[in-house]
Structure 1
Amino acid sequence: MARIEDHGVLEWVESGGGPLIAVPEVVLPFWAGADSEELDTDYDRACEVAGYAGLLPVGDSAALVLGDEPAATSYLPEHGTFVRWSAAESERELLAGVPAALEGAVWEQELRWDVPGPVVLFDSAWPGGEADRQEHLKVPLAAGSYTVRTAYAQPGPETWVGLVQLRPLGR
């Protein structure tokens, strides 16, 4: 995989080894990350999510945990999809394969995620209140309900990508 500094078009978020999490902006202060007095931290809860994605309660909302592997991740609004860079020689190669990956994906999981508005993607080990001081990506989602579906695809011989697609319900 190319180094993140070599990326050109998109902002990418990486973790220190654990899962990434998309937390609704309005409940960011309620995500404690690995900093907690509790025996099981929020970060521990995120690490327990099985599969490519899962939901965890945060405040009066829910956060989307991007599980499986700590791949560099960005969001493509034109596809409503978090793209997880597993293998590709360049960002250009990865992005060129996204349409084929979406078309040929075998969707493995579906969740319903209710969001109150924009979310922030960051390393789940960090407290939400510090997300703006760490590597993060603000995703301008409209308030509403979304179907979240996941897949892992190989759109080219040397290109592998994880997909977490958000589809608005009732629109």
Structure 2
Amino acid sequence: MEWVESGGGPLVAVPETVLPFWAGADSEDLATDYDRACEVDGYVGLLPVGDSTALVLGDEPASTSFLPDHGTFVRWSAANSEEELLAQVPAALDGAVWENEIRWQVPGPVVLFDSAWPGGEAEGGDHLRVPLEPGTYAVRAAYTRPGPETWLGLVQLRRLQP
């Protein structure tokens, strides 16, 4: 599995079509895109980018991957191994206490990366391309402890019918 790491700030999933508009921490503006991402309160939030919207994965800067079979970003907080963490995902999804859903409109695939980086640099660094279909997604998040030594965050995407 591919895992995306952060240098300490939030991760962000930006639609490929607007990657060049994400400036990260490199901006002349008083409030950079990275600053805006850091202001997101809670596990997830949305920020405008170009003519689209990015999904910010807030809270802690945990290693994150995407499980397409579950439509879920998995955030590794604690586990002895990747295998142990992945084995706990079904139980975590079943027992999760979800926050309120938000709606996220995407034009197609998104790229997950450290919000401090400019979007144009995400292609060559620590990033993960998530092949989402264009449309509106219900996004919900939870933090779970499915095992005594396994803690993980979940950000689940469910495509809504047009």
Fold shared, TM-score > 0.5 on shorter chain: yes
For residue 48 of structure 1, the aligned residue among 23, 31, 39 is 39
**Stretches (4+) displaced over 3 A:** none
SS in 2 for 1:109: coil
**Structure 2 matches for 1:5-84, cutoff 5 A?**
10-84=1-75
Partners of 2:99 and 2:31 lie apart in 1 by: 29
TM-score scaled by structure 2? 0.99
The DSSP-based 3-state class of the residue aligned with 1:103 is: helix
CA contact (8 A) 1:54 1:65 kept: yes
Distance 1:157 1:19 in 2: 26
Q: What is the deviation of 1:170?
A: 1.2
Number of the residue aligned with 2:85: 94
Q: TM-score, normalised by structure 1?
A: 0.94
Structure 1: gaps spanning 5 or more residues: 1-9
Name the count of aligned residue pairs.
162
Correspondence for 1:7: none
CA contact (8 A) 1:19 1:66 kept: yes
1:100-139 correspondence to structure 2 within 5 Å: 100-139=91-130
The Cα RMSD (Å) is 0.7
Deviation at 1:16, TM superposition (A): 0.1
Contact kept in structure 2, 1:148 and 1:166, CA below 8 Å: yes
Task: Supply the distance in 2 between the matched residues of 1:135 and 1:170 (Cα, whole angstroms).
Answer: 32
Identical aligned residues as a percent: 79
Structure 2 counterparts to residues 138-153 of structure 1, below 5 A: 138-153=129-144
Q: Aligned equivalents of 1:86 and 1:95: distance in 2?
A: 12
How much does 1:109 deviate? 2.6
Q: In structure 1, what is the Cα distance between the partners aligned to 2:121 and 2:98?
A: 33
CA offset at residue 108 of structure 1? Answer: 1.1
